[in-house]
Structure 1
């Protein structure tokens, strides 16, 4: 993306971020599977309602101060003091709002258990915001290993505590324990790796005000959009159906959390270095988008095609209503991989309002569609609404990228032709081999057949992708980087 040693370090950094997130999300997935066997769908539904409220309030109070620090040309100690002070204020206000919301929430849903759940869950967003601001210095040096250590540490402890609690008690409290323990441990480890003695100061507020204002508005609307689904369904369907939707949404979001969210920070660094060189910035955007799509698209398509056998094999009979919901949500996530670097691009070119503009338009489009789907068709209606909105948002973001850096929508789409064709070949292969999964036999045989199909499908996709890359003249991109890495690794 960027020439020379810096470009290599950015690629390595992004790879490390993705690898660490992959490890943590594998831990999350294992935890979900274990907890799905120990708890009921209704337990997941109850916690989903509480989590939705916490996430909305957290998003309203969200301040992307870390990314703002990265974008600053010069950083002083007073910048870090201002960041810490703003995060402390945010945490106190956030906790107050959540505690005040507990009684009306429990009354609205007719469940007093929500009072204790929301109060306890408030600890998680407070802890997330209070991490050492000095951690950002590692990112500025393109060293993302400490961030990986922080995240993995939190996930390992959260996994151990939540699974142990569920095993001993079969209580729904295992779910909030996992949500709380992770951020608390990450908070502690961040100060171990990046020591910082906090001081209260707002001297540099002006350096962050534009980011806080526009980002807060965008984050608020975005969170309301995504959390209104479980909140609506919590009133319209039973907790078991809501639990199934929540489980499917968690699974479908894992690839995006791995390949999109974790590349955001390295991409902000990379794009910031190129913002005065628009041709190279366009090329970097296209390469990064194509690289993310190369990983995300086959995973989501594979998930959609094998949702039934996967749920039966991993989650068991009490989750039998999950497959169609999971299939639909997997399809709904697909378009987001085609515009994954957009947020990093907008921040790098100092245009956070572009993100907010997209989110506002999405909200206006999404609200009536989701309301109609939820009220008339329940869970499936919400799933279909998400697919429709995702396609509309793809068009909106493509137009925004064209405005920011003069990269037309058609040129953006053509950057993915090898990935899309390779996914189509893989999908045809998976479809033709579905008979493998219907042969009966023991659970172990079913798992072996499923694993064989996954591995062979991945091989078909990779072979198709590299064949198309070779036929198109071996252009610079992910394939050339992987080939170079393999060549350098072979003695």
Structure 2
């Protein structure tokens, strides 16, 4: 069993590193893309496309029924299973495309923007095209081949970015963003057949079996999307494309560091936890290590972005985006809290507690909708952002209590992984704010100083607190052992199985 745990640990680390590398590479492409587009297009252009994309995504989520995850979880899927999943995905895509065409006009009325209807009809083609994707690429994740998943996702993003920038230089309006979205999906489908030799064919024989699992996953997907996008829908109801664009860019930029470091690990959790679902001790160790890493990175990036938001916008996005600074501060905190909360959901689904996961995500989605709808009455995007923070913070204890019921983990175990990053984050904030007040009034220079001071203070406080309580397992231990292995410092390796004091 110890060999299995070692293999699982390596798989989790390898998968997380590959997915983190993927997300960071894609974010690097996206950042350059955003920097160029932010200077070629106006906030209203981003807002218009965000309105249409939010509606398209809300309908598309009905196609994320977990049919591919059913293949990952199945102990020995046959060709009939793969072909049935592909057929089901294509049927769903065709149905959702028709639904989107029917929703185009009502959506334009909701957003008070007639151009949204035309955009939704165009973006609906993305849904239909996506239904033809080669189901064979699911084996990248099933077999934990995250290096192949890396290449597959990277090429899609790179092509879409190049097309979007090219159209932006030519058209100088929102049509460039729509073209990039479609181009990325077309290449993604083509790549799925180039990168995997599997050739699906129509089959309906295993659809009822697949639906047995995927219908429960659908509830999670829908609830998750509503929770993620309810605030943008509320901002869109204000009928101001400029405000929608500012909110969309603020949310995307503020949460980018977390989305590209913490959430990739969450993506790698499902296939790993599915393999060790019958080993409670391995599940406990794996989850607590993931929680430790999640908290450390979430506080670092969420708190760090909130502290440097003003200078970051000046330097990276430009003065035309200064209205996003207050939003970025609040949404960066929301993103950090979300990452801490979210990594418990894959464990519930991988261990057979899908119904429990559905209830949690559905309750959270309903709470989020009610909160942001009430906040929208103020006609203020900042109030909506604050509502998101409040709901996310309120649900963290519920997630932890639920995990304590289904896993051999106590609330004390989880709190032992949380308090140190929180204290280190407080030290970072005090140091950055103190130095910031005395720094030169030059945004680029001040941003660099704040980042160096913040990173130094946070790392020092994190490792100091870790040593103070006896070097327990977690990200700190993994980092030290990795460093020792690379520089051959020698000495006794720090155990990955110590219990926090």
Q: How much has 1:316 moved relative to structure 2?
A: 1.9
For 2:47, which of 22, 45, 48 is the aligned residue?
A: 45
**2:237 alignment partner, SS class:** helix
Is the 1:237–1:378 Cα contact (8 Å) retained in structure 2? no
2:158 matches 1:161:
no
Aligned Cα RMSD in Å? 2.1
Q: CA distance change for structure 1 residues 116 and 268 in 2, over 3 Å: closer, same or farther?
A: same
Q: Distance in 1 between matches of 2:471 and 2:130?
A: 43
Q: How much has 1:426 moved relative to structure 2?
A: 1.5
Q: How much has 1:48 moved relative to structure 2?
A: 1.4
**1:150 alignment partner, SS class:** helix
Cα deviations across residues 84-140 of structure 1 (Å, max 9, x unaligned)? 111111111111111122223234444332233112212334444543222222323
Q: Distance in 1 between matches of 2:111 and 2:479?
A: 52
Choose 211-220 or 119-128, whichever is displaced more.
119-128
Q: Distance in 2 between matches of 1:321 and 1:71?
A: 45
Other-structure match for 1:7: 9
Q: CA distance change for structure 1 residues 185 and 437 in 2, over 3 Å: closer, same or farther?
A: farther
Other-structure match for 1:393: 395
Is the 2:306–2:329 Cα contact (8 Å) retained in structure 1? yes
Q: CA distance change for structure 1 residues 369 and 341 in 2, over 3 Å: closer, same or farther?
A: closer
Is the 2:160–2:181 Cα contact (8 Å) retained in structure 1? yes
Q: Which runs of 5+ in 2 are unaligned?
A: 489-501
Q: Distance in 2 between matches of 1:172 and 1:137?
A: 36
Q: How much has 1:355 moved relative to structure 2?
A: 1.8
Other-structure match for 1:172: 174
Choose 462-471 or 314-323, whichever is displaced more.
462-471
Cα deviations across residues 272-329 of structure 1 (Å, max 9, x unaligned)? 2322222331221111111122222211101111111111222222212111111111
Other-structure match for 1:205: 207
Q: How much has 1:469 moved relative to structure 2?
A: 2.2
Other-structure match for 1:239: 241
TM-score of the pair, normalised by structure 1 = 0.93
**1:321 alignment partner, SS class:** helix
For 2:437, which of 435, 446, 452 is the aligned residue?
A: 435
Choose 48-57 or 338-347, whichever is displaced more.
338-347
Q: CA distance change for structure 1 residues 226 and 281 in 2, over 3 Å: closer, same or farther?
A: closer
Is the 1:132–1:195 Cα contact (8 Å) retained in structure 2? no
Other-structure match for 1:380: 382
Other-structure match for 1:302: 304
**1:117 alignment partner, SS class:** helix
Q: How much has 1:260 moved relative to structure 2?
A: 4.2
Q: Distance in 2 between matches of 1:355 and 1:215?
A: 9
Q: CA distance change for structure 1 residues 454 and 354 in 2, over 3 Å: closer, same or farther?
A: same
Q: CA distance change for structure 1 residues 199 and 253 in 2, over 3 Å: closer, same or farther?
A: same
Q: Distance in 1 between matches of 2:84 and 2:438?
A: 59
2:83 matches 1:86:
no
2:476 matches 1:476:
no
Q: Distance in 2 between matches of 1:475 and 1:367?
A: 40
Q: Distance in 2 between matches of 1:396 and 1:116?
A: 42
**1:122 alignment partner, SS class:** helix
Other-structure match for 2:79: 77
Q: How much has 1:331 moved relative to structure 2?
A: 1.4
Written as runs of structure 1 = structure 2, the 5 A alignment for 1:480-491 is 480-490=477-487
Q: How much has 1:377 moved relative to structure 2?
A: 4.6
For 2:452, which of 447, 455, 459 is the aligned residue?
A: 455
- For these two proteins, the number of residue pairs brought into alignment is 486
For 2:462, which of 460, 465, 477 is the aligned residue?
A: 465
Q: Distance in 1 between matches of 2:372 and 2:109?
A: 24
**1:233 alignment partner, SS class:** helix
Q: How much has 1:460 moved relative to structure 2?
A: 2.5
**2:235 alignment partner, SS class:** helix
Is the 1:56–1:224 Cα contact (8 Å) retained in structure 2? yes
Is the 1:329–1:383 Cα contact (8 Å) retained in structure 2? yes
Other-structure match for 2:349: 347
Q: How much has 1:208 moved relative to structure 2?
A: 2.2
For 1:426, which of 416, 428, 439 is the aligned residue?
A: 428
Q: How much has 1:410 moved relative to structure 2?
A: 3.9
For 1:327, which of 320, 326, 329 is the aligned residue?
A: 329
2:154 matches 1:138:
no
Q: How much has 1:30 moved relative to structure 2?
A: 2.1
Other-structure match for 2:57: 55
Other-structure match for 1:443: none
Is the 2:93–2:130 Cα contact (8 Å) retained in structure 1? no
Cα deviations across residues 425-461 of structure 1 (Å, max 9, x unaligned)? 2222211121365524xxxxx3244224313422332
Is the 1:229–1:382 Cα contact (8 Å) retained in structure 2? yes
Q: Distance in 1 between matches of 2:473 and 2:130?
A: 38
Q: Which runs of 5+ in 1 are unaligned?
A: 441-445
Q: CA distance change for structure 1 residues 487 and 125 in 2, over 3 Å: closer, same or farther?
A: farther
Q: Distance in 1 between matches of 2:403 and 2:283?
A: 11
Other-structure match for 2:183: 181
**1:196 alignment partner, SS class:** coil
Q: Distance in 1 between matches of 2:124 and 2:300?
A: 36
Q: How much has 1:226 moved relative to structure 2?
A: 3.5
Choose 257-266 or 143-152, whichever is displaced more.
257-266
Other-structure match for 2:498: none
Q: Distance in 1 between matches of 2:131 and 2:329?
A: 34
Cα deviations across residues 21-54 of structure 1 (Å, max 9, x unaligned)? 1110222122222211111111111111101100
Is the 2:271–2:350 Cα contact (8 Å) retained in structure 1? yes
**1:275 alignment partner, SS class:** coil
Choose 200-209 or 310-319, whichever is displaced more.
200-209
